[in-house]
Amino acid sequence: MAYASSPSSSTDDGNDINTCKLQFYKEISSHTNHSSNNPLFSAERYEQMIELIVNAKLKHPGKSNTQEITCLEAYVVIDFGGKLKLTKKNDQFSDGIIKYFVQLDELFGIMKEAHITIGHRGIVNTLKEVKKRFVNITEKQVTLFISGCEECKRKRSMPKSATKLVIKPVISNDFNARGQVDLVDKQLCPDGPYKFIVTYQDHLTKFCILRPLKTKTACEVVYQLLEIFTIFGAPVILQSDNDREFVAKIIQELVVMWSSVKIVHGRARNPQSQGSVDRCNQDIKQLIGIVNVK
C-alpha cells in the first residue's frame, strides 16, 4: 500500500516513504514535549509504564507509592493476544471499541494507514479515523503528517477548474450490478488466528456478507469472495474504499482462479452509498467490540 503517490517503481516508492517518514519524525521531535508527562510515549517509556502498572497491581493495598497510585488511576494495561497494551482508564471501551496509547515509533505507520483508508480526505477526517482506535494522537501531529503527503500536495496544486468536477451519483438498478468489498481490521482484538474481516455489500440491496481472514492479502480475500460469488453470483463492477491497487489485485487473482468471470474496477462516488458502507463497517466494529467486552 503506497503512501503519497502513484508508484513509478517499488524502489522509488520505498524511498519516498522513507524520506517522508524521516522528515515527519524530525518535525515531531522539534515539536515534542520531552517532559515525563508527555502523552506520546517512546518505546522504552511505554514498556516502563506497563511494567510499573503491572507491578503496582501486585502490591498490597496501601503499599503503592505516589507515582504508582497516579498511574493506576489514569491507566489500564490490557492483554491483546499476548501483547500488553496501555489504555486510558474508564475510556478503553468507549463506543464499544478498545482504544489504546500509541508509541512514538508507531505513529507514522498508524496515521499513514488511516489517511489512505479514508482516501486522503484531509486533517479532520484523518483525525476522526485515528481517534476511533488511539487515545493520544493529536490534531497537530495529523496536520504535520498530512503536510508531507505527496498525494495531498498534488491535489492542492491542481487547477481549481480540475477539482470542481460535477460528481454524478452511481445508480444500480439490478442485483449484482455493483458490489463493494472492504476490510475491517481486528488486529487489536483477534479471534484466534483471524485478524481481519472482509465485508461484501451489494450496492442495490445493501445486503452484506462477512467472512473472517487471517491476513489481508488479495489471495485470501479472493478465496472468500469466490465462495460468496459462487452462491450469489459475481458483480459486474467491484469497488472498494481501499486503494485502487487493492481492487486491481483482487480482480487479477479472481481471473486467475475463475477465468470466465467478467468484473471491472469501479469507485464509490455516491455520498449516499458511501455513507451506507461506512455505517455498515462501523456497525460491524461496534458489534465486535461489544462481543469482545462480554
pLDDT per residue over 22-60, tens digit each? 888 888 887 666 555 667 888 999 999 999 999 998 887
Q: How far apart are CA 58 and CA 106, in angstroms?
A: 29
Same structural domain, 143 and 282: no
Torsion angle of C-alpha atoms 154, 156, 160, 161, degrees rounded to 10: 20
Cell of residue 55, nine digits: 507491578
Give the Å distances, CA to CA, from 134 to 69, 101, 107, 164: 23, 6, 10, 34
Residue 192, domain CATH = 3.30.420.10
Give the Å distances, CA to CA, from 220 to 109, 201, 217: 23, 18, 6
Q: Is the dihedral of CA 243, 244, 246, 250 positive or negative?
A: positive
Same structural domain, 139 and 237: no
Same structural domain, 25 and 148: yes
A 10 A CB-CB count for 103 gives 19
Alpha helices (runs of H) in the chain, residue ranges in sequence order: 10-31, 43-58, 66-74, 107-117, 122-131, 139-147, 150-157, 160-163, 218-232, 244-257, 271-293
Same structural domain, 127 and 16: yes
With a CB cutoff of 8 Å and minimum separation 6, the contacts of 161 are none
Q: How far apart are CA 61 and CA 147, in angstroms?
A: 49
Instruction: Please report whether residue 41 resides in a domain.
Output: yes
- Judged on CB neighbours under 10 Å (0-12, 13-18, 19+), 226 is middle
Same structural domain, 147 and 196: no
Residue 144, domain CATH = 1.10.340.70
Number of domains in the chain: 2
* Helix/strand/coil for 220: helix
Of 125, 157, 189, which residue constitutes the final position of a domain? 157
* Amino acid in the structure at residue 107: L
Of 127, 157, 187, which residue constitutes the final position of a domain? 157
Instruction: Please report whether residue 145 resides in a domain.
Output: yes
What is the domain extent for residue 212? 178-293
Full-model pTM: 0.50
Same structural domain, 19 and 118: yes
Instruction: Please report whether residue 168 resides in a domain.
Output: no
Q: What is the residue-level pLDDT of the chain in tens, covering all 294 positions?
A: 333 333 333 444 556 667 888 888 888 887 666 555 667 888 999 999 999 999 998 887 778 888 888 888 889 998 877 889 998 887 655 566 778 899 999 999 999 988 988 888 889 999 999 998 898 899 999 999 999 888 888 877 766 554 454 444 555 668 888 888 888 888 888 888 999 999 998 888 888 999 999 998 888 999 999 999 888 888 888 887 766 777 788 888 888 888 777 776 655 544 444 556 666 767 776 666 545 544
Same structural domain, 132 and 193: no
Question: What is the predicted pLDDT for the residue at 38?
Answer: 67
